[in-house]
Structure 1
Amino acid sequence: MAEHKHGTMDITAQEKTFNGFVKFTIRTVGVIIFILLFLAVFNT
């Protein structure tokens, strides 16, 4: 079995996926907050 050296793994794909997830989450929360504010202001 090969020895594992800490910090040698290429994690660029994981970093891209995580960054995409964070962007998606921030945008989704922003849209939800906008919708809630819109409903609160224009509630009939």
Structure 2
Amino acid sequence: MADDHKHGNMDITEQEKTFEGFVKASIWVAGVAIFVLVFLAIFNS
């Protein structure tokens, strides 16, 4: 049964979509955090 495995044959389209969504969400969160920090730096004086 272990001989049936062939490296690189698995369908990973769903994992690629999930990772793409994770990267997009991470970019949005980082952008919002930077905006909040800049906003606080400007108006907290």
Runs of 5+ consecutive residues of structure 2 not aligned to the other structure: none
Runs of 5+ consecutive residues of structure 1 not aligned to the other structure: none
In structure 2, the partner of 1:20 is 21
Moved over 4 A (4+): none
Question: Which structure has more helix as a fraction of its residues?
Answer: 2
Q: How many residues align?
A: 44
Q: How high is the sequence identity, in percent, across the aligned residues? A: 68
Per the normalisation by structure 1, the TM-score is: 0.92
Distance 2:5 2:21 in 1: 28
CA-based RMSD of the aligned residues comes to 1.1
CA deviation profile, 1:13-35 (whole Å, cap 9, x unmatched): 00000000000001100000000
